[in-house]
């Protein structure tokens, strides 16, 4: 699965994107983010507090309990601040 990181999340993880094979038993966005947080100290530094994060699945904003299904792309970022 393609993972994208933006703004402070990108800086914390130290990557703007990565491709990862995701375990079969990951059902929701929250499951996947919790698993990602265990992949490195850098991931943990910004992915642990899920309530401070926002998510887009295949470029649509979703909540943390959204089902991954066949999505190809998950983006993880802080609340948006455009305009």
Partner 1 sequence: MRISAAPIQPAMELAPLAGLGGGALSSFTGIVRDDGGVAAIELEHYPGMTEACLSSLIEAATERWSLLGAIVTHRIGIVPVGAPVVVVGAASLHRAEALEATAFLIDRLKTDAPFWKREHYADGTAKWVEAKASDDARSNRWA
Candidate list 4, 22, 64, 68; residue touching partner 1; CB under 8 A = 4
63 binds partner 1 (CB under 8 A): no
Distance, CA of 1 to CA of 19 (rounded, Å): 6
Instruction: Please say whether the beta carbons of 14 and 5 come within 8 A.
Output: no
Instruction: Please say whether the beta carbons of 13 and 78 come within 8 A.
Output: no
Strands 60-62 and 2-5: unpaired
- Listed ranges 30-38, 41-49, 55-63, 64-72: which one lies at the site for partner 1 (CB under 8 A): 55-63
**Residues binding partner 1: number (CB under 8 A):** 17
23 binds partner 1 (CB under 8 A): no
Instruction: Please say whether the beta carbons of 47 and 37 come within 8 A.
Output: yes
6 binds partner 1 (CB under 8 A): yes
The residues that touch partner 1, with contacts defined as CB under 8 A, are 4, 6-8, 10, 56, 59-61, 75, 77-83
């Amino acid at each position: 699965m393609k993972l994208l990181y933006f703004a402070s999340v990108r800086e914390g993880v130290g990557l703007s994107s990565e491709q990862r094979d995701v375990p079969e038993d990951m059902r929701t966005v929250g499951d996947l983010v919790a698993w990602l947080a265990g992949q490195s100290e850098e991931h943990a530094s910004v992915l642990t507090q899920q309530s401070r994060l926002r998510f887009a699945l295949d470029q649509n904003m979703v909540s943390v309990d959204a089902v991954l299904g066949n999505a190809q792309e998950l983006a993880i970022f802080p609340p948006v601040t455009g305009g």
